Amino acid sequence: MTERDRQIKIVDKGRNIRLFLARTTALVEEGHRRHGTSATATAALGRVMTAAVMMGSDLKGAQDALTIRIRGDGPAGTIIATADTRGGVRGLISDPTADLPEIVPGKLAVGQLVGSVGFLEVVKDLGLKQPFTGRIELVSGEIAEDIAQYFYSSEQIPALVSLGVLVETDLSVRSAGGLMVQAMPEADDQLLQLIEKNIMNSASISHLMDAHTTLEDIVPIILAGIEYEIIDDMDLNFLCKCSRKRLLQVLMGLSAEERKELQQEEKIEVVCNFCQQKYLYSPEELDAEKN
Ligand SMILES: [Zn+2]
């Protein structure tokens, strides 16, 4: 049996690099199920959610949150994923049904679905007045390359990023996961080059996830020739922060005129964009004096 979704963090003995390794099969499947995504859209959304959950886990404050927003010129439209610091992540894609033929059998056309002209934005909400925002032009729309470029140009961190989703013919997710290697400022270049070579010589990250039942079996492949230590282990989940109360607040933020129009209905239905959860409200609940 393959393990549940989880992430481990690893450092090499000399503390020159950090490796984040995440299995995200169940949470990507949950995203697919909730949004009804096509095979290629599942892969695109899954890669973005996997990157977000790894990056979110690196924020310090318990209430901090990290959002990745990607807008390319492809049919997918905008893809957004938001993660907390404890392994919870949610995501959405503008057109979940957009799809393209595989480039070669087994290779989904994620870069074309996203598009290579556009931007990637990372927003870190650290509980300050202004969130930190970094923005780059897309490199390829394949997501992993774009995230690596973000680290390099926005945070001046040399990084290796791999993200992958394997989709079955029935559109369910067979396996998904990601790895992220970040070099510390004083790190030896050769160490990152050695890891890059290890990654090039191994199967893709989604196939590694598929072939190995635990993350601990994958680390020695990525870090072959390097002494290391696992320093953190956390469970990962598809988790949306919406609630009946929160979405009512959104409705109350509409103009009096817009609310009046909604109140013509017997029941007012609101669907959360991030998880497709439906909430029903009675017209009375939208009365301003009751809130
Ligand atoms: Zn929701």
* Residue 290 confidence (pLDDT) above 80: no
Cα(61) to ligand 1 centroid in Å equals 22
Cα(272) to ligand 1 centroid in Å equals 5
pLDDT tens readout for residues 121-177: 999 999 888 999 999 999 999 999 999 999 999 999 999 999 999 999 999 999 999
Cα(35) to ligand 1 centroid in Å equals 11
Backbone angle region of 155, left / alpha / beta, with phi > 0 → left and psi within -120 to 50 → alpha? alpha
> Residue 289: pLDDT band by 50, 70, 90 thresholds?
low
Distance, in Å, from the CA atom of 228 to the CA atom of 247, rounded to the nearest integer, reads: 46
137 close to 71: Cβ distance less than 8 angstroms: no
Average pLDDT over residues 64-86: 97
User: What per-residue confidence (pLDDT) applies to 226?
Assistant: 96
Cα(96) to ligand 1 centroid in Å equals 16
What is the percentage of the chain residues whose pLDDT exceeds 70? 99
Cα(108) to ligand 1 centroid in Å equals 27
What domains appear along the chain, each with residue ranges and CATH number?
Answer: 6-238 (3.55.30.10), 244-290 (3.90.1280.10)
Q: Which residue stretches of 80-225 are H helix?
A: 110-114, 144-155, 189-201, 205-211, 215-222
Cα(82) to ligand 1 centroid in Å equals 11
pLDDT tens readout for residues 13-35: 999 999 999 999 999 999 999 99
Cα(164) to ligand 1 centroid in Å equals 24
Cα(240) to ligand 1 centroid in Å equals 5
171 close to 39: Cβ distance less than 8 angstroms: yes
Cα(279) to ligand 1 centroid in Å equals 10
pTM of the model: 0.95
